[in-house]
A and B are shown apart, each in its own frame.
Chain A
């Protein structure tokens, strides 16, 4: 039976600066490529039988392409997941090295949210989760939408889990005391 998972994604609004550069350089690239045709290089790519695949590559196209691909890489390189057991952060999915950090709701000690002025206007931000295991931060959710709502939900879930654990522990303690008193 598949566990229910909540996937928290990075949003394109978090890459607004690079997206703006992409939109600015795109028409410049088109204009310059048409004005200076020598910047477009052509040549055979590969051949088979009696046919040759010719490729025309505008060199200036790599400028907006760099900004677009950096945005896509930043968004899809991480995966934040909330499920029944805890929180998981996969960082480096499209990179050479990948790190997976997983913590339980009961182990969470602090949940902080950070937003700059522009991020507050766009409704995006960063959530930083710390545990008792380490002095620093364990997981950082960057570039997510509605960080305050997510912070509240994680806090509620953590408090619920701790209350249940305390009730369970308290019930056990009471039964232990009762048993000891009976003796």
Chain B
């Protein structure tokens, strides 16, 4: 540190020519910034280096879709089954679970479709109702 003299740091500001140069360069930089110039760091989007990484990154997205699709297909199948086979056990259970007003229909259907109101029968036999 003894080799560095404070005079060397102050020297550019004591000379008028150098001081004017510093001011002009500072003005130039100010104009650059005001005109919209600048430097910024941004993270590069890492390209998929390996297939494993790509699948891992995409896995959560792909996992959701099949499950949803499965649910949709199940619901569609259930609806189709209900429409085709109203006497099916699944439809009766679905009705019990989902829609209460369908119980009247179920009761009406029960004499003609005993299989459809098996739970009611069970309940009656047990004396719950």
A residues near B, CB below 8 A?
A: 9-12, 19, 22, 26, 29-30, 33-34, 37, 40, 45, 47, 50-58, 60-61, 64-65, 68, 71-72, 75-76
Interface residues of B in 53-97 (CB under 8 A from A): none
| B residues in contact with A65, CB < 8 Å | 28, 32
| A residues in contact with B17, CB < 8 Å | 9-12, 75
Take A26-B27, A47-B44, A65-B28 as given contacts and tell me if A54 and B39 are in contact as well, using a CB distance cutoff of 8 Å.
yes
B residues near A, CB below 8 A?
A: 15-17, 20-21, 24-25, 27-28, 31-32, 34-44, 46
Q: How far is the CA of A60 from the CA of B36 in the complex (A)?
A: 11
Closest Cβ of chain A: how far from B18's Cβ, in Å?
A: 9
Closest Cβ of chain B: how far from A52's Cβ, in Å?
A: 5
* Residues B41 and A40 in contact, CB atoms below 8 Å apart: no
Using A34-B36, A54-B41 as known contacts, list a sample of 16 further A-B pairs with CB atoms less than 8 Å apart, ordered by residue number in A: A10-B17, A12-B17, A12-B21, A29-B31, A45-B39, A47-B44, A52-B41, A52-B42, A52-B43, A53-B39, A54-B39, A56-B37, A61-B31, A61-B37, A65-B32, A68-B24
| A residues in contact with B41, CB < 8 Å | 51-54
Residue of B whose beta carbon sits closest to that of A51: B41
Residue of A whose beta carbon sits closest to that of B41: A51
Closest Cβ of chain B: how far from A157's Cβ, in Å?
A: 24
* Residues A22 and B24 in contact, CB atoms below 8 Å apart: yes
| A residues in contact with B38, CB < 8 Å | 55-56
Can you list 9 contacts pairing A with B, beta carbon distance less than 8 Å? A9-B17, A10-B17, A12-B21, A29-B35, A50-B46, A53-B39, A55-B38, A56-B37, A56-B40
Take A9-B17, A12-B17, A75-B21 as given contacts and tell me if A51 and B32 are in contact as well, using a CB distance cutoff of 8 Å.
no
| B residues in contact with A33, CB < 8 Å | 34-36
| A residues in contact with B35, CB < 8 Å | 29-30, 33-34, 40, 58, 60-61
* Residues A58 and B27 in contact, CB atoms below 8 Å apart: no
Closest Cβ of chain B: how far from A87's Cβ, in Å?
A: 20
| B residues in contact with A11, CB < 8 Å | 16-17
Q: How far is the CA of A131 from the CA of B53 in the complex (A)?
A: 80
* Residues A58 and B37 in contact, CB atoms below 8 Å apart: yes
Closest Cβ of chain B: how far from A122's Cβ, in Å?
A: 14
Residue from B15, B37, B43, B46 having most chain A Cβ neighbours under 10 A = B37
Q: How far is the CA of A61 from the CA of B38 in the complex (A)?
A: 12
Q: How far is the CA of A40 from the CA of B31 in the complex (A)?
A: 13
| B residues in contact with A68, CB < 8 Å | 24-25, 27-28
Residue of A whose beta carbon sits closest to that of B28: A68
Residue of A whose beta carbon sits closest to that of B15: A9
Closest Cβ of chain B: how far from A54's Cβ, in Å?
A: 5
